[in-house]
Structure 1
Amino acid sequence: MPAKTQSTPTADAMADEVLIGRLRSYASDVLAPMAPEYEEDARFPDEVLRFLGKGGLMRLAYPPVTAAPDTSANPDASSMNFYESIEILSTGWTAVAESLHLQALATHGLAHHSGEDLRAELLEDMLSFQKIGGNCFSEPDAGSDLSSLTTQAIDRGDHFVLNGTKSWVGHAPVADLLNVYCRTGGQGIAGISCLLVDARTSGITIGAAEPKMGVKSLPTAQVRFVDVKVPANRLLGRKNRGMLIAAEVFHKGRLGLAACANGLAEAALNTAALYAKQREQFDRKIIEFQGISFMLADMSTQLAASKALTRHAIGETGSPGALLLASQAKLFATDMAMKVTTDAVQVLGAYGYTRANPVERFMREAKLLQIIEGTNQIHRATIASHL
Structure 2
Amino acid sequence: MNTMYFTEEHELFRKSFQDFLKKEVVPHIDKWEETGTIERFIWKKFGEMGYFGINQPEEYGGMGLDIFYTVIFLEELQKINSGGFAAAMWAHAYLAMTHVSKEGDDAIKKKYLTPSIDGEKIGCLCITEPFGGSDVAGMRSTAVKNGDKYILNGSKTFITNGVYSDYLVVAAKTDQEKGNKGMSIFIVDRDTPGISASKLDKLGWRASDTAELAFDDVEIPDENLMGEEGKGFSYIMQHFALERLIMGINSHARAEYALDYAMGYMAEREAFGSTIDKFQALRHSVADMASEIEINKEFNYSVAKRLDQGEYVVKEASMSKLVSTKMADRVIYDCLQLLGGYGYMEDYPLARMFRDSRLGPIGGGTSEILREIIAKMVIDKKEYKPAAR
TM-score by length of 1: 0.90
Q: Distance in 2 between matches of 1:299 and 1:36?
A: 28
Compared CA separation, residues 15 and 198, structure 1 to 2 (3 A): farther
**Separation (CA, whole Å) in 2 of partners of 1:30 and 1:286:** 35
| 1:170–1:219 Cα contact (<8 Å) kept | yes
1:196 to 187, 209, 220: 187
C-alpha contact 2:303 2:317 (8 A) present in aligned 1: yes
Among candidates 328, 331, 340, match of residue 340 of structure 1: 331
1:311 aligns with 2:305: no
Cα deviation, 1:3-24, whole Å, max 9, x if unaligned, reads xxx9xx9xxx876653322112
Q: More displaced, 106-115 or 273-282?
A: 106-115
* 1:30 CA displacement: 5.3
Q: 1:57 aligns with which of 51, 55, 64?
A: 51
Q: Is 2:193 aligned against 1:215?
A: no
Q: CA 1:216/1:124 → structure 2, altered by over 3 Å: closer, same or farther? A: same
Q: Which residue of 2 aligns with 1:21?
A: 15
Classify 1:29/1:351 alpha carbon distance in 2 versus 1 (closer, same or farther; 3 Å).
farther
1:155 Cα shift? 0.8
2:249 corresponds to: 259
Query: What does 1:84-95 align with in structure 2 at a 5 Å threshold?
Result: 84-92=72-80, 93-95=82-84
Equivalent of 2:104, from 114, 135, 139?
114
8 Å contact from structure 2 (residues 137, 233) kept in 1: no
Whole-angstrom distance in 1 between the partners of 2:243 and 2:89: 11
Q: Which residue of 1 aligns with 2:354?
A: 363
Deviations 1:149-196 (A, max 9, x none): 111011123111111111111101101111110000124211100010
Residue aligned with 1:211, SS: coil
User: Structure 1 unaligned runs (5+)?
Assistant: 1-5, 67-75
Contact residue 43 and residue 120 of structure 2 kept, 8 A: no
User: 1:272 maps to what in 2?
Assistant: 262
2:66 matched residue in structure 1: 78
Q: Distance in 2 between matches of 1:45 and 1:308?
A: 35
Aligned counterparts of 2:359 and 2:27: Cα–Cα separation in 1:
22
Q: Tell me, in whole angstroms, the C-alpha distance in 2 between the residues paired with 1:198 and 1:161.
A: 14
Q: Deviations over 1:21-61 (max 9, x none)?
A: 21123445654454333213323243333211220012212
Match of 1:70 in 2: none
User: Which of 134, 140, 146 pairs up with 1:156?
Assistant: 146
Work out whether residues 55 and 65 of structure 2, in 8 Å CA contact, stay in contact via their aligned partners in 1: no
CA distance in structure 1 between the partners assigned to 2:321 and 2:39 by the alignment: 25
Relative distance call for 1:179 and 1:329 in structure 2 (3 A) is: same
Which stretch shows the higher mean deviation, 286-295 or 90-99? 90-99
SS in structure 1 of the partner of residue 129 of structure 2: coil
1:374-385 superposed matches below 5 A: 374-385=365-376
- Shift of the alpha carbon at 1:77? 5.2
- Aligned partners of 1:45 and 1:96 also within 8 Å: no
Q: Which residue of 2 aligns with 1:40?
A: 34
Aligned to 1:100: 89
Counterpart of 1:35, as a letter, is I
User: Compared with structure 1, are the counterparts of its residues 45 and 303 closer, same or farther at alpha carbon in structure 2 (3 Å cutoff)?
Assistant: farther
2:125, 2:98 → 1: CA distance? 10
Please say which of residues 337-346 and 15-24 is displaced more in the overlay.
15-24
Describe the shift of the 1:53–1:95 C-alpha distance in structure 2 as closer, same or farther (beyond 3 A). Answer: farther
Following the alignment from structure 1 to structure 2, what is the Cα–Cα distance between the partners of residues 294 and 45? 43
What runs of 5+ residues in structure 2 fail to find an aligned partner?
379-389
1:351 is paired with a residue of what secondary structure?
Answer: helix
**Which letter does structure 2 place at the counterpart of 1:383?**
I
Task: Please say if residues 98 and 260 of structure 1, whose CA atoms lie closer than 8 Å, have aligned partners that are also in contact.
Answer: no
> Distance between the aligned counterparts of 1:299 and 1:44, measured in 2?
33
Q: 1:20 aligns to what SS in structure 2?
A: helix
Partners of 1:188 and 1:29 lie apart in 2 by: 49
Quick one: distance in 2 between partners of 1:45 and 1:195? 27
Task: Write the mapping of 1:1-12 to structure 2, written as runs, cut at 5 A.
Answer: none
CA deviations on 1:277-299 (whole Å, 9 max, x unpaired) are 00000001001001111111122
Instruction: Give the Å deviation of 1:314.
Output: 1.0
- C-alpha RMSD of matched pairs (Å): 2.3
Matches of 2:296 and 2:246, distance apart in 1: 13
1:199 to partner: Cα distance:
1.3
Distance 1:321 1:124, change over 3 A: closer
Partner of 1:386: 377
2:114 aligned residue: 124
| 1:262 shift after superposition | 2.0
Indicate how the Cα distance of structure 1 residues 18 and 174 shifts in structure 2: closer, same or farther if over 3 A, else same: same
Q: CA separation in 1, counterparts of 2:364 and 2:266?
A: 34
Q: For residues 346 and 45 of structure 1, what CA distance do their matches in structure 2 show?
A: 34
* Count of residues in Structure 1 that have an aligned counterpart in Structure 2: 369
